[in-house]
């Protein structure tokens, strides 16, 4: 479902996965803090908090951020077509038929997707759409008719999995074309697209004068500079408790120039015979992964954070911890199925006491 654009000036929003936590301002000062929120990109709630000399400056900057997100939202959409725009749905619709001429933004995302495929050993696969499409259809039917909810037959999933070989994704950068050589292959960039778009938007914001700001796009949080325009005063970000009955946040972290991205089993799911089945599918079992409840990644690149949070969610915690410890500038927090919280060696440095 696509939501109409909604701007709400002056509203601080608590959002899925992570949230920007604001404190009451003191006496009047310059620059001032402004906020805005909207609901029309990546089918999620979003908020921008920033410091600017005046409302007009902030509106210009935040409107620019919103326009960039709208652009990426349309380009990376696999469900909807837009007049005069070749997007990922266009590529999927032409699988096995013909290459599609696309924009640089689409080429760059798909190249990043191939990098994440290599990094993850195939766990994050943007060509896994045929399997995810089956799960999506059964989940939507189950949500619409809970009394008839059922799991996809394994035979159907295995048949779809025959069409997920990333070698069938043919990118011609010189010609700016993308071609899926398998007619049954489908792109699905849900594991990376939002974080990638947030990173590109954040870079645009910096280039256009937003020195101190925080962006929460459906819980993908990215930060620039400092809260209250005060050096050394980090943005306070709440990491949501996957047990939604046990309080809003597990903890808060203080960050500047970093992003926090969370993947979890508690946001998008449906119920079959009293058991919940979430949307993050293990490519090895073709079933929802069951290693943990949630994982949050802290890094300076929201696109990498988005891909890594999915990858880590699809790995045993011990293997994920080993991976994170081998990477510079990356920290993570895991919530195991029994509620146990595990953090990488440097994560605690960011916890807000």
Is there a single domain that holds both residue 49 and residue 131? no
Residue-averaged pLDDT of the chain: 91
Domain assignment present for residue 12? The answer is no
Domain end call among 146, 180, 214: 180
Is there a single domain that holds both residue 161 and residue 203? no
Domain end call among 180, 203, 223: 180
Domain assignment present for residue 9? The answer is no
Q: How far apart are CA 83 and CA 347, in angstroms?
A: 45
Is there a single domain that holds both residue 132 and residue 35? no
What confidence score (pLDDT) does residue 15 get? 39
Structural domain including 48 reads: 18-75+192-350
What pLDDT digit, counting tens, does each position of 63-80 carry?
A: 999 999 999 999 999 999
What pLDDT digit, counting tens, does each position of 171-193 carry?
A: 999 999 999 999 999 999 999 99
What confidence score (pLDDT) does residue 16 get? 39
Domain assignment present for residue 98? The answer is yes
What confidence score (pLDDT) does residue 5 get? 29
- Segments of the chain assigned E as strands: 18-20, 32-41, 44-52, 100-101, 169-172, 177-180, 213-217, 220-224, 235-240, 249-255, 259-264, 269-272, 275-278, 292-299, 331-336, 341-343
What are the two backbone dihedrals, phi and then psi, of residue 120, each rounded to the nearest 5 degrees?
Answer: -90, 0
What confidence score (pLDDT) does residue 27 get? 45
Q: Given pLDDT bands bounded at 50, 70 and 90, which one contains residue 10? A: very low
Is there a single domain that holds both residue 133 and residue 236? no
CATH number of the domain that residue 224 is part of: 3.10.520.10
| Averaged pLDDT, 142-154 | 97
Is there a single domain that holds both residue 108 and residue 26? no
Instruction: Count Cβ atoms below 10 Å from residue 49 Cβ, excluding itself.
Output: 23
255 forms beta bridges with 235
What pLDDT digit, counting tens, does each position of 251-284 carry?
A: 999 999 999 999 999 889 999 999 999 999 999 9
Is there a single domain that holds both residue 70 and residue 142? no
What confidence score (pLDDT) does residue 19 get? 60
Domain count for the chain, please give it.
Answer: 2
Q: Given pLDDT bands bounded at 50, 70 and 90, which one contains residue 7? A: very low
Our CA angle for 311, 296, 268, nearest 5°, is 75
Domain end call among 127, 155, 180: 180
Is there a single domain that holds both residue 303 and residue 176? no
| Averaged pLDDT, 56-69 | 97
Domain assignment present for residue 203? The answer is yes
What confidence score (pLDDT) does residue 164 get? 98
What confidence score (pLDDT) does residue 134 get? 98
What are the two backbone dihedrals, phi and then psi, of residue 247, each rounded to the nearest 5 degrees?
Answer: 110, 165
Percent of the chain predicted with pLDDT > 70 = 91
Is there a single domain that holds both residue 157 and residue 231? no
């Amino acid at each position: 479902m696509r939501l109409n654009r909604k701007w709400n000036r002056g509203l601080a929003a608590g959002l899925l996965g992570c949230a920007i936590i604001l404190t009451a301002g003191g006496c009047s000062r310059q620059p001032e803090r402004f906020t805005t929120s909207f609901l029309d990109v990546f089918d999620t709630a979003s908020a921008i908090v920033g410091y600017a000399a005046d409302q007009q400056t902030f509106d210009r900057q935040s409107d620019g951020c919103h326009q960039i997100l709208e652009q990426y939202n349309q380009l990376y959409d696999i469900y909807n077509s837009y007049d005069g725009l070749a997007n990922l749905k266009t590529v999927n619709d032409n699988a096995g038929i013909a290459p599609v001429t696309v924009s640089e933004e689409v080429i760059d995302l798909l190249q990043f997707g191939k990098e994440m495929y290599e990094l993850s050993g195939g766990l994050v696969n943007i060509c896994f759409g045929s399997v995810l499409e089956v799960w999506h259809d059964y989940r939507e039917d189950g949500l619409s008719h809970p009394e008839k909810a059922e799991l996809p037959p394994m035979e159907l999933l295995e048949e779809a999995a025959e069409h997920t070989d990333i070698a069938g994704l043919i990118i011609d950068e010189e010609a700016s074309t993308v071609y899926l050589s398998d007619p049954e292959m489908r792109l699905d960039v849900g594991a990376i697209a939002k974080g990638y778009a947030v990173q590109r938007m954040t870079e645009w914001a910096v280039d256009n004068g937003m020195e101190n700001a925080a962006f929460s796009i459906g819980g993908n949080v990215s930060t620039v500079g400092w809260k209250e325009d005060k050096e050394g005063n980090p943005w306070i970000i709440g990491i949501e408790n996957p047990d939604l009955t046990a309080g809003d946040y597990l903890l808060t972290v203080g960050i500047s120039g970093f992003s926090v991205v969370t993947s979890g089993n508690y946001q998008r799911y449906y119920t079959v015979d009293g058991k919940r089945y979430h949307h993050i599918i293990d490519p090895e079992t073709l079933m929802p992964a069951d290693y943990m409840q949630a994982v949050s990644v802290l890094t300076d690149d929201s696109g990498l954070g988005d891909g890594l949070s999915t990858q880590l969610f699809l790995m045993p915690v011990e293997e994920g911890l080993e991976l994170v410890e081998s990477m510079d500038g990356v920290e993570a927090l895991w919530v195991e199925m029994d509620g146990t919280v595990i953090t990488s060696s440097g994560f605690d440095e960011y916890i807000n006491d």
